[in-house]
């Protein structure tokens, strides 16, 4: 039954990808660009997302659905992993509902229409949990190898995979597993495989000044002017209810409160402890981060996997089956609304949700207009000072022969294009500057002559627009920053 449901969902989600008019967002365009230059690391993320897009693009091309098709495919595999995890810990009935719960989460429905780093992360996370359960029970070379592969590949997807190490230690503690068992040769094999897979990315970071590590650390933003922000905390908590769906999130909270009064057999309690070890610490850490500074809702995404299994198990144990079915049904309805909005601009307008899709509109029109002007104007390059604009120009201007380059400020690189696509020194030629800034003196001062040509504005729906300003810049050009 689960397999049939997942195949139906997969077919529907793939159809939506081919039907949606929503364009690649800036992050997706950046990941696509990375996929054209395979490496073991990039400025802001490990390389797995680029490899996934490279694989799907090699199968069907560079169109938007081909770039994104890895998302629904991988989520279907992750749902199967959730089923295996729940069946290993509980029984086939709970496993079925856990798999369906995950597959129909609002966060998964939305994520299936975009390509993000969380997509492969969750796949490797669930299989790391399955392997952990087996290794906590008995010695196994094969499950140790699975654990090492899952953790190593997960770290290449997103460094949040590192939560798995804390989860293993906490699971051992809560299940009263002797510490010496974590020093068995099979565990050491798993750790060795994981770090062997991660090693090329570590080497890349060393060679590039630990760019990805520094970028990841900077996201914490503990230097913000206002620390301890209750508003950001509530925003993050609300985000978790949105990702899980209100009823499923409510069941998780109810299980935390009431589950202890109906613990069930020792084996069920042990299973609960393992899943809590891989969910609660993540939620606590990221919730604390949200309170101190800020946290995006997806920063605790790995907790979704064990939560889905716990909710299914607790619903059956506490007699909340109808609430679980209601939660899954509501989430299916929310997923259908997301699907309709993805394929119908009229639905977006009717619901007045233009703000939700503005980052996925206008890039193609703007990119095409800019590259046409660059081609006709005889410019040797298009120069951008914005990461989002840079991605859209590279993707939607990929048919043009004019190069797209990035202006690196005097303070040095702060995103990938500064490293891989900087504008080098020029002795002659003309460059078309694309900027959203009103004051571009820091850029124009590096050229011999600058002339503002025009401003371009595209509609994003409703009363929302995106405007860029075009300047003709003449060489010679001297970079503001040199490596």
Residues with Cβ < 8 Å from 409, sequence gap 6 or more?
Answer: 385, 442, 480, 481
Tell me which H or E stretch contains 424: none
Q: What is the pLDDT of residue 257?
A: 85
Q: What's this model's pTM, rounded to 2 decimal places?
A: 0.94
Percent of the residues in the chain that have a pLDDT greater than 70, as a whole number? 96
Spatial contact of 332 and 106, defined as CB atoms under 8 Å apart: no
Please report which confidence band the pLDDT of residue 231 belongs to, taking 50, 70 and 90 as the band edges: confident
Confidence check: pLDDT of 342 > 70: yes
Q: What is the pLDDT of residue 414?
A: 86
Confidence check: pLDDT of 225 > 60: no
Q: What is the pLDDT of residue 232?
A: 86
Write out pLDDT tens, residues 134-188: 999 999 999 999 999 999 999 999 999 999 999 999 999 999 988 889 999 999 9
d(CA 472, CA 483): 26
Q: What is the pLDDT of residue 228?
A: 72
What mean pLDDT comes out for the span 406-413? Answer: 92
Instruction: Match 């719960």 to its residue by tokens.
Output: 101
How crowded is residue 151: how many other Cβ atoms within 10 Å of its Cβ? 28
Burial of 281 (0-12, 13-18, 19+ CB in 10 A): middle
Find the range with the poorest average confidence among 39-43, 90-94, 379-383.
39-43
Q: What is the pLDDT of residue 423?
A: 93
Mean pLDDT of the chain: 93
Confidence check: pLDDT of 224 > 80: no
Q: What is the pLDDT of residue 77?
A: 98
Spatial contact of 62 and 398, defined as CB atoms under 8 Å apart: yes
Q: What is the pLDDT of residue 215?
A: 74
Confidence check: pLDDT of 226 > 70: no
Write out pLDDT tens, residues 249-298: 999 999 998 766 666 676 688 999 999 999 999 999 999 998 888 889 99
What mean pLDDT comes out for the span 31-57? Answer: 95
DSSP states of 162-209: GHHHHHHHHHHHHTT--GGGGGSHHHHHHHHHHHHHHHHHHHHHHHTT
Spatial contact of 95 and 87, defined as CB atoms under 8 Å apart: yes
Q: What is the pLDDT of residue 171?
A: 96
Angle of CA points 45, 46, 49, to nearest 5°? 85
Write out pLDDT tens, residues 232-257: 889 999 999 999 999 999 999 999 98
Name the β-bridge partners of 434.
384, 470
Q: What is the pLDDT of residue 482?
A: 79
Find the range with the poorest average confidence among 28-42, 316-330, 410-424.
410-424
Confidence check: pLDDT of 55 > 60: yes
What mean pLDDT comes out for the span 200-206? Answer: 95
Please report which confidence band the pLDDT of residue 227 belongs to, taking 50, 70 and 90 as the band edges: low
For 422, the 3-state DSSP assignment is strand
How crowded is residue 250: how many other Cβ atoms within 10 Å of its Cβ? 16
Confidence check: pLDDT of 209 > 90: no
């Amino acid at each position: 039954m689960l397999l049939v449901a997942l195949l139906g969902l997969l077919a529907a989600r793939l159809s939506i990808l081919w039907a949606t008019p929503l364009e690649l967002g800036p992050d997706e365009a950046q990941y696509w660009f990375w996929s054209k230059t395979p490496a073991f690391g990039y400025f802001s993320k490990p390389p797995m997302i680029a490899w996934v897009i490279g694989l799907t693009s090699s199968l069907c091309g560079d169109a938007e659905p081909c770039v994104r098709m890895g998302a629904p495919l991988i989520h279907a595999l992750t749902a199967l992993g959730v089923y295996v995890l729940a069946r290993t810990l509980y029984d086939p009935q709970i496993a079925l509902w856990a798999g369906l719960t995950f597959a129909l989460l609002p966060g998964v429905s939305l994520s299936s229409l975009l390509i993000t780093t969380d997509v492969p992360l969750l796949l490797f996370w669930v299989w790391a949990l399955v392997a952990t359960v087996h290794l906590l029970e008995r010695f196994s070379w094969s499950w140790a190898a699975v654990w090492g592969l899952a953790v190593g590949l997960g770290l290449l997807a997103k460094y949040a995979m590192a939560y798995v190490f804390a989860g293993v230690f906490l699971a051992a503690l809560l299940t009263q597993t002797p510490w010496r068992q974590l020093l068995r040769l099979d565990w050491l094999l798993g750790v060795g495989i994981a770090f062997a897979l991660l090693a090329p990315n570590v080497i890349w970071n060393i060679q590039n000044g630990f760019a990805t590590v520094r970028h990841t650390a900077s996201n914490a933003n503990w230097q913000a002017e206002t620390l301890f922000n209750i508003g950001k905390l509530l925003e993050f908590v609300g985000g978790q209810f949105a990702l899980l769906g209100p009823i499923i999130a409510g069941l998780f909270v109810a299980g935390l409160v009431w589950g202890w009064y109906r613990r069930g057999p020792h084996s069920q309690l042990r299973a609960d402890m393992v899943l809590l070890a891989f969910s609660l610490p993540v939620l606590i850490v990221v919730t604390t981060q949200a309170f101190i500074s800020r946290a995006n809702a997806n920063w605790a995404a790995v907790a979704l996997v064990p939560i889905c299994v716990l909710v299914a198990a607790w619903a059956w144990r506490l007699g909340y089956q109808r609430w679980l079915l209601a939660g899954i049904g509501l989430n299916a309805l929310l997923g259908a609304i997301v699907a309709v909005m993805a394929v119908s601009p009229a639905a977006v307008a009717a619901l007045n949700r233009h703000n939700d899709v503005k980052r996925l509109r206008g890039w193609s029109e703007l990119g095409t207009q800019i590259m046409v002007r660059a081609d006709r104007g005889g410019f040797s390059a298009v120069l951008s000072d914005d990461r989002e604009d840079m991605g859209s120009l590279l993707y939607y201007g990929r048919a043009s022969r004019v190069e797209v380059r990035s202006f690196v400020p005097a303070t040095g690189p702060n995103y990938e294009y500064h490293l891989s696509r900087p504008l080098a020194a020029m002795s002659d030629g003309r460059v078309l500057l694309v900027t959203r800034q009103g004051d571009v003196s820091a850029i124009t001062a590096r050229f011999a002559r600058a002339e503002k040509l025009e401003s371009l504005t595209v509609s994003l729906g409703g009363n929302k627009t995106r405007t860029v300003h075009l300047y003709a810049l003449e060489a010679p050009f001297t970079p503001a920053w040199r490596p």
